[in-house]
Structure 1
Amino acid sequence: MWTPNPAMAFLSTLFSPRILAATAVALGFSLLNAAPAPIKVLIVDGQNNHSWKETTPVLKEILEASGRFQVDVATSPPQGGDMSAFKPDFAKYAVVVSNYNGDAWSKETNEAFEKYVHDGGGFVSYHAADNSFPEWRQYNQMIGVGGWGNRKAPESGSMIRYRAGKVAIEAVPGRCGNHGARVPFQVTMRERRHPIAKGLPKVWMHAGDELYDSLCGPAQDFTLVGTAHSNGQNRGTNEEEPMLLAVRYSNGRVFHTTLGHDVAAMHCVGFITTLLRGTEWAATGKVSIPVPPDFPTAQATSLRK
């Protein structure tokens, strides 16, 4: 995409192309205002207790359809395979999106990823990626909180809740990671000044999805961007649980979304929009992607296929 420079557009009505080009050079005009280069994204997948072969193409399509991202995919060996050769070149990308939940990576790959995020690389933890690597301390610092994988509180860390208008961090003993049946639920934006949330409705209805609760971890240096009420009648906690987190890990930015269990949930315009804006923020620290007119309301979901 490009747009003509307004000054040059006016001059083009007065002069020939040859004179116009010479004038542009003399006056320092650019004939075209080029759109910014696409942000390079790497999706990591290959193992997951979720249907990664179905969800990775949707993640890629969502990101590329925005016109803001250029996406590659790095697929690991299957479960039980030789992970020593799995060495994505993280440094080539502005942001890494994880759709991975499986075998441990090699020490070399772990260290490369730690350095990448530590030095300023962006990272997006998508849904079950927060189930991964329960023993990898630095990874758990990046995602803030995670679940399953034999995580237990307080050994694995604290839980993040939202109560009485403020964030509550507590180490409640118990298993970390739970969800009820997939149903639509409201997401409430808690830090509306954050670039990811700015301009979004305070409350919006998400499509039927798993509502993660009781996640635990280091819970450090984060902004609680969005929560949802975990209904006790749906095997929940009756707490406001974190759905969207923005985490700082040294010089890196991490967007953690628990949403998007399957392709049906990924059709939600709320999921699409927060994924796009969270990925851009993780990569750049800013958000230019607008809130679409079909964004869901507090009462009604909005789906886009």
Structure 2
Amino acid sequence: MIAPGTAHQGVRLGRVSAEARAGYRISFRGRTGRLLADAAGLAVFALMAFPIYWMIATAFKPGRDILSLTPKWFPAPFTLQNFEDAIARPFFLDDVKNSVLIVGGTVLLSLALAFLAAVAVARFGFRGRTAFIILIIGVQMVPLNALIIPLYLMLDGVGQTDTLAGVIAVYLAVVLPFMIWTLRGFVANVPVELEEAAMIDGCTRVEAFMRVVFPLIGPGLVATAIFGFIQAWNEYIIAYVLLASPENQTLTVWLASFTTNHGPEWGPLMAAATLTGLPVVAFFLVLQRWLAGGLTAGAVKG
């Protein structure tokens, strides 16, 4: 005969053992899930990073290795001839200058206009405000290719095709909606009470905004500038359609000159693509912490 206390203790131990097994299963499933998620993330990263690696590796390979039927994963022997050929291509320096002028003008002008529009939308109530916000969102859904012909006809009518100013004007129309929407979130996140306190201390409304609010939305301005820079630097179809003269084209259009009637010149093309991508990578690496923090802050509040 089993004593009552012993039986109760056995039941309790059995219950604890069952709970421990259940906890172990949950912990095991959690670790397995994390491992699978990490593996999936690494696979996606490898899938996206491999083309970039192959482009850079090909840029340093001699021609015989590039066209070899047996792929070589590493550039051996190492050569800079492809970069020399790319830089020696006609209009390289002209197209670098054009890209810098177009992208710089687009980013600076779009930041100024988007900032003023974002302040108006976030701080002031006016008739048509809701319709304006809906328009900003809706414009971003229109495919860019559908606007190429109307944009060309408009610029041709005012004599601005094949000019840097015409391309900058089109780029402004492309990047402004996103920049206004993003900056609106940053401005809305700054409490109005800060401006009111500054105005009580003797500042005008403009002074209060510039001295109090403007420094607080600095990360948002940087994050928005990065997106405007990347979009304008990488754009191809607008520059290709609007800029006919080789001396007026951008680097993205210049890359097309490496595709001839005999096929692509793979070595110089990969070297040119690597050179074209370096400014974007450098710009992003320098300002990435503002990009991450700025997007998070701007998305918190509408």
TM class by smaller structure: under 0.3
Higher helix share: 2
Using the size of structure 1 for normalisation, the TM-score is 0.24
TM-score in terms of structure 2 length: 0.24
Larger radius of gyration: 2
Q: Which one has a larger percent strand, Structure 1 or Structure 2?
A: 1
